[in-house]
Homo-oligomer: A and B are copies of this chain.
Amino acid sequence: MSQITMKELAKRLGTSVSTVSRALQNHPRIGLKMREDVMALAKELNYSPNTTAINLKKQSTKNVGVVVPWLTEQFFSMAITGIEDILFEKGYRVVLQQSRDDFEREEQAIQALMKHGVDGIIVSMGSGTYNHRHFLEVNRKGIPLVFFDRVVKSLPNSCVYTDITQASFEAVELLLNKGLTKIALLNGPNTMQSSNERLMGYVNALKLHQIELNPIYIKTTDLSVEDTVKKTHELLDLAVPPQAIFAFHDYMSLDAMQIAKERGLIINQDIFFVSFSNLSFCKYLEKPPFASIEQFPYEMGAKAANLLVDAMKKPDDYVREEVIIRSKLIVRV
């Protein structure tokens, strides 16, 4: 199926390619009749422009690469929905890649995108990412890059995130205000900035309420179910087990809750869970985690997309922006 080109249109109309081009893009300096003729023939022949050629000419692809750890995590699929909505309306397309929290894969994805030619990139970093050379490479190439959620604040790129420290503080304080003092932290890996911020919020809250920090209540995990299960058992095996667990996210809360239930504990009575995510399906649970932090992923994605669009518009006088989306603590019970 040989696509019909402007050359063909020009030939049939006995005119030149440039005239056809101008007519098609409603250039002012073009005769009315000619414009109409061209338009008519184009429609008749079902002409559609070759975007690749335009891309080559314009040095842009109207493609934006998006790299997230897991599409299957609700947080990310909602964020991508926000990204897609903004980008689509601005004429961009989303090229998607998952890093699966694996450094190698993330690097591969970024390289593929650069090689493939995208006008910009939006990234939420994987938990396994221990260095930033791929991002530096993107910056070196002058491709606009925006981070969201799992960001790198030390890089000169704009980023969108929630104040994890503050949100963590509020979550832990909620528990403290309930009179609970033995609160455990079931965290992500130390390598993740957001794990450290959770820790800070946790520490701050305890400090403010003059509860002594007990290191045995602090566990890090690699975010896997197995590790969550293991560390939860460790916590519940303690001589004085925690009354509440502040977990990395709802997925972790849910897995930890299963363990607690198996061990005969009653949720929201013997033990309380709070975490990030505010997963929608928790509403179907008889006993949902006590509270959760809503991070508004759709809005975060949309904001990141908007920042990227700005950056792509004016690659020269690019101003780094750091946008903090205010999270909200949702008490479920």
Chain B residue with the shortest CB-CB distance to A58: B52
Complex contacts, A285 vs chain B, CB 8 Å? 284-286
Seen from chain A, the residues whose Cβ lies within 8 Å of a Cβ on chain B are 1, 3, 48-53, 55-56, 59, 61-63, 71-72, 74, 77-78, 80-81, 84, 88, 93-98, 112-117, 140-142, 254, 257-258, 279, 281, 283-287
A63 to B50 CA separation, bound complex (whole angstroms): 14
Pick from B71, B93, B94, B141: contact of A3, CB under 8 Å: B141
A-B complex: 4 closest residue pairs judged by Cβ atoms: A1-B142, A51-B117, A71-B77, A286-B286
Pick from B1, B71, B97, B287: contact of A71, CB under 8 Å: B71
Contacts A112-B93, A116-B93: A72 and B72 contacting too (C-beta < 8 A)? Answer: no
Most buried by B among A50, A72, A97: A72
Complex contacts, A63 vs chain B, CB 8 Å? 63, 95, 116
A81 to B281 CA separation, bound complex (whole angstroms): 21
Complex contacts, A52 vs chain B, CB 8 Å? 52, 55-56, 59, 61, 117
A141 to B4 CA separation, bound complex (whole angstroms): 10
Copies of this chain, whole number: 2
Contacts A53-B56, A77-B71: A62 and B116 contacting too (C-beta < 8 A)? Answer: yes
Contact of A88 with B112 in the complex, beta carbons under 8 Å: yes
A98 to B81 CA separation, bound complex (whole angstroms): 8
Contact of A48 with B95 in the complex, beta carbons under 8 Å: no
Complex contacts, A116 vs chain B, CB 8 Å? 51, 62-63, 93
Contacts A74-B72, A93-B95: A115 and B284 contacting too (C-beta < 8 A)? Answer: no
Pick from B98, B113, B284: contact of A254, CB under 8 Å: B284
Most buried by B among A48, A53, A284, A285: A284
Contact of A48 with B88 in the complex, beta carbons under 8 Å: no
Chain B residue with the shortest CB-CB distance to A297: B72
How far is the CB of A57 from the nearest CB of chain B, in Å? 9
Contact of B84 with A114 in the complex, beta carbons under 8 Å: no
How far is the CB of A46 from the nearest CB of chain B, in Å? 8
A141 to B88 CA separation, bound complex (whole angstroms): 23
A50 to B279 CA separation, bound complex (whole angstroms): 42
Contact of A72 with B62 in the complex, beta carbons under 8 Å: no
